[in-house]
A = this chain, B = another copy of it.
Amino acid sequence: MTKINKNYLELQGSYLFSTIAKKVKAFTEANPEKKIIRLGIGDVTRPLTPTIISSLHSAVDEMANKETFRGYAPDLGYEFLRSAIAANDYKMRGCDIEADEIFVSDGAKCDSGNIQEIFGEDNVIAVCDPVYPVYVDSNVMAGRSGKAIEGTGKYSNIIYMPCTKENGFAPECPTEVPDIIYLCFPNNPTGATITKTELQKWVDYANEHDSVIIYDAAYEAYIKDEDVPHSIYECDNAKTCAIELRSFSKNAGFTGVRLGFTVIPKELVRDGVSLHTLWARRHSTKYNGAPYIIQRAGEAVYSDAGKEEIKGLVGYYMTNASYILKGLKDAGYEVYGGVNAPYIWLKTPNNMTSWEFFDHLLETANVVGTPGAGFGPNGEGYFRLTAFGDYNDTVEAISRIQKM
């Protein structure tokens, strides 16, 4: 008699963005004449840039000819892409990461959900609160979370690291030492960043306690400030304690194209076993490589023309971020983030709960945002807006919010 994975029954409610989608669908059906502006889910809206489009077309043409057709990709990614990543994202920033320490994948969401599989069930994980839900949910599904604590949105066996306005939404190293620490900077959802000095403390802490940091740097392209690190490998000795996750979704607009990568340095060993080897085995058994045409598009991101175009994309969204930040401040809102990150984190007015403000904003301004409470208990009373909208829509949304 088949038994299900009962850990799934511990999952709290349905996945945040599915819930939002359902609420918006219901509102749209009831109010077909209203023009909804979506500043909720972190999905990009600008088209792919000319260099990317051109690389996709030429890779498609290669697939049409017997001589240049490509079947199964190498398990861990094509050499041309891994080398471009190592050179541009790491060597150029002084990080000693080799091409064969890079694992190409179909995106940082998948990697952040799958990476926990190489660790034992008996590890205690620590997450920021608020947090990107995938880190928690994937660990719940794997039986690592303990039981849900009713009414708290928390699990008994997870260490929550509060991110509050008092600590600038960057947590302190916890006194109870976790085995695996999820960090995401620039942060989703708060838009907070961490300085290199502060991140070095985490690296030292992890090395001291033989913990592993899973560092989600999906938003590194939005960093402007000099003292904010783009990679955790800018810190000393990070290669013995850190895994880094990266994405092409938010810099090059690949949310619907799907490409990302994970870095696991060969020096990263636990229980006498190389985590690089474990992830390679996981990748070659349960994954079959990113599509060739899409890996070519990823390579184009690192061309001179590609880099210029990506700067333009990031600049476009950051203009939105600045506009939202200023517009909300002018309207009297308490706002955070939006400087080195495409997310604006605002305090809900009049002590509304996050979901109350979600409904209020949807109904009054027809603007969709993301309730902070969906990211964890310390997100309650906060709300996330994203800079990924169309500029004119963003201006219109802020104008509507200002009139509320």
Contacts and interface: CB of A to CB of B under 8 A. Distances in A.
Contacts of A47: 63-66, 69
Nearest to A113: B286
A48 to B, nearest CB: 5
Contacts of A288: 106-107, 109-110, 258
Integer count of this chain's copies in the complex: 2
A285 B64 contact: no
Interface string A1-25: 1111110110100110010000000
Query: Chain A: interface residue count, which band?
Result: 35 or more
Interface stretch (A146-154, A161-169, A271-279): A271-279
Contacts of A89: none
A3 B258 contact: no
A79 interface: no
A131 interface: no
Contacts of A134: 285-286
A104 B138 CA distance: 20
A98 B140 CA distance: 30
A292 B256 contact: yes
A201 interface: no
A58 B285 CA distance: 33
A60 B63 contact: no
A346 B255 CA distance: 46
Given A57-B57, A118-B5, A284-B18, A70 B256 contact: yes
A257 B72 CA distance: 8
Contacts of A43: 71-72
B44 A64 contact: no
B1 A210 contact: yes
A271 B61 CA distance: 49
